[in-house]
């Protein structure tokens, strides 16, 4: 038999509030000022989107700020940084499906879901491909009402890192900025898969977080004997893979401390400096430095069944391996204050 799918529609207002970027931030990520934020980031009244074929419309409950969102604020994320202003901001969060233009999405109407979409999450509503949502439980079914607010970027990156380490038969990995939400996920999920993590952090506060989470070794980059300690830890544990979120001079220092033949995957640039690496490490010690972008990894390795299995893994360990600590919440109307707070407390937890 044949049947046709029509959008399950909602009525009401056709406008919504959305955080929009009107100009690129010029100062460093950790130095955003309130004056610059008020000038460039505004909450505007825009047309509420309608779901196209294969999409669902969500009423957003919560959205997080990720490091990549800070790069979007500087118009420096992705291959194309010439998108015309203004444009939306935010990438992931939790919402409730209120309208569907997809057969797969129709059973989701009324359900609470985690979602991902570039430049769209800091708003009241968002249209998302049905393949970019994951049904989660009501807030009362989790340890925290925030569980699930970061179900895509960090968990999927963590799963990719574990896959890369296992494929390389690495006994241990080095992770910079390891006190972050992603760093903690890697420690927990790595241990579940037999991968030990050597955490590289800047402060004793972050070091304690990593120790409490279960890191095999913790080294503080500001210590005078940092290089010696990291060299010994890498040799003792057999760490031949590094996942670097910082770049700059730290990237070269860390790679130099690793065994011959090691590989560093640079997936972030928190230092906002170019990575430096010794030519001796490259030529004579067979060390390599390469980039990692989750979008490319998913497109190359995880379409269809692979991505579905990943989503099931995330759902299974949402309140354990992939739990996310939220340290402060703001209403959408105070998005500038939220960004300002996060820019100065990026290592403390999600906002």
The CATH number assigned to the domain holding 65 equals 3.90.180.10
Q: Which residues on adjacent β-strands are paired with residue 265?
A: 243, 290
Output the pLDDT for position 304.
Answer: 57
DSSP-based three-state secondary structure for 169: coil
Ranges of the chain whose pLDDT falls below 50: 1-8
Residue-by-residue DSSP string for 93-157: EEEEEEEESSTTTGGGTT-EEEEE-TT-SSBSEEEEEGGGEEE---GGGSSSTTTTTT-SHHHHH
Sign of CA dihedral 270, 271, 273, 277: negative
In a domain, 319, yes or no: no
Does 128 share its domain with 212? no
Sign of CA dihedral 136, 137, 143, 146: positive
> Which CATH number covers residue 190?
3.40.50.720
Q: Which long-range contacts (CB under 8 A, 24 or more apart) does 309-314 make?
A: 310/156, 310/159, 311/134, 313/159, 314/134, 314/151, 314/155, 314/156, 314/159
Does 172 share its domain with 258? yes
Does 157 share its domain with 292? yes
Output the pLDDT for position 227.
Answer: 98
- Other Cβ atoms less than 10 A from the Cβ of 326: the count is 17
Output the pLDDT for position 3.
Answer: 34
pLDDT digits (tens, 9 = 90+) for 248-282: 999 999 999 999 999 999 999 988 899 889 999 99
Domain span at residue 167 reads: 153-296
pLDDT digits (tens, 9 = 90+) for 195-249: 999 999 999 999 999 999 999 999 999 999 999 999 999 999 999 999 999 999 9
Output the pLDDT for position 7.
Answer: 44
Does 258 share its domain with 187? yes
In a domain, 82, yes or no: yes
Residues 6 or more apart whose Cβ sits within 8 Å of residue 339:
32, 37, 41, 65, 70, 73
Output the pLDDT for position 309.
Answer: 79
In a domain, 45, yes or no: yes
In a domain, 351, yes or no: no
In a domain, 200, yes or no: yes
Output the pLDDT for position 148.
Answer: 78
In a domain, 142, yes or no: yes
- Confirm if 81 and 75 have CB atoms less than 8 A apart: yes
Strands lying side by side in the sheet with 15-21: 41-47, 15-21, 87-88
Cα–Cα distance between 113 and 134 in angstroms, integer?
5
pTM of the shown model:
0.89
Cα–Cα distance between 185 and 180 in angstroms, integer?
9
Does 213 share its domain with 145? no
Output the pLDDT for position 191.
Answer: 97
Burial (Cβ within 10 Å: 0-12, 13-18, ≥19) of residue 186:
buried
In a domain, 4, yes or no: no
- Domain count along the chain: 2
Sign of CA dihedral 137, 138, 144, 145: positive
How, if at all, do strands 239-244 and 172-176 pair?
A: parallel
In a domain, 1, yes or no: no
Does 57 share its domain with 179? no
């Amino acid at each position: 038999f044949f049947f046709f799918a029509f959008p399950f529609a909602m009525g009401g207002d056709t406008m919504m509030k959305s955080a929009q970027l009107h100009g690129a931030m010029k100062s460093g990520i950790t130095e955003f000022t309130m004056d610059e934020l008020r000038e460039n980031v505004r909450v505007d009244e825009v047309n509420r989107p309608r779901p196209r074929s294969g999409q669902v419309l969500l009423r957003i409950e919560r959205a997080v700020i990720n490091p990549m969102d800070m790069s979007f604020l500087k118009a420096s994320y992705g291959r194309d940084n010439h998108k015309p202003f203004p444009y939306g901001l935010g990438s992931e969060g939790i919402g409730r499906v209120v309208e569907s233009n997809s057969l797969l999405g129709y059973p989701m109407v009324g359900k609470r879901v985690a979602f991902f979409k570039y430049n769209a999450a800091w708003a009241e509503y968002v249209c998302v491909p049905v393949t970019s949502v994951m049904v989660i439980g009501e807030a009362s079914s989790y340890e925290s009402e925030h569980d699930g607010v970061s179900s895509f970027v960090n968990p999927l990156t963590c799963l990719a890192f574990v896959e890369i380490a296992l494929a390389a038969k690495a006994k241990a990995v080095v992770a910079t900025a390891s006190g972050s939400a992603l760093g903690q996920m890697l420690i927990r999920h790595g241990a579940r898969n037999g991968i030990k993590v050597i955490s590289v952090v800047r402060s004793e506060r972050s070091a304690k977080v990593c120790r409490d989470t279960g890191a095999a070794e913790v080294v503080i980059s500001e210590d005078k004997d940092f290089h010696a300690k990291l060299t010994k830890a890498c040799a003792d544990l057999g760490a031949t893979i590094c996942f670097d979120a910082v770049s700059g001079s730290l990237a070269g220092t860390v790679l130099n401390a690793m065994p011959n033949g090691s590989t560093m995957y640079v997936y972030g640039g928190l230092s906002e400096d170019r990575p430096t690496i010794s030519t001796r490490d490259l030529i004579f010690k067979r060390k390599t430095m390469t980039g990692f972008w989750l979008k490319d990894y998913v497109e190359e390795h995880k379409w269809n069944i692979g991505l579905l299995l990943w989503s099931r893994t995330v759902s299974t360990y949402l309140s354990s391996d992939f739990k996310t600590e939220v340290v402060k919440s703001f209403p959408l109307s105070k998005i500038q204050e939220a960004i300002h707070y996060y820019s100065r407390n990026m290592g403390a937890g999600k906002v």
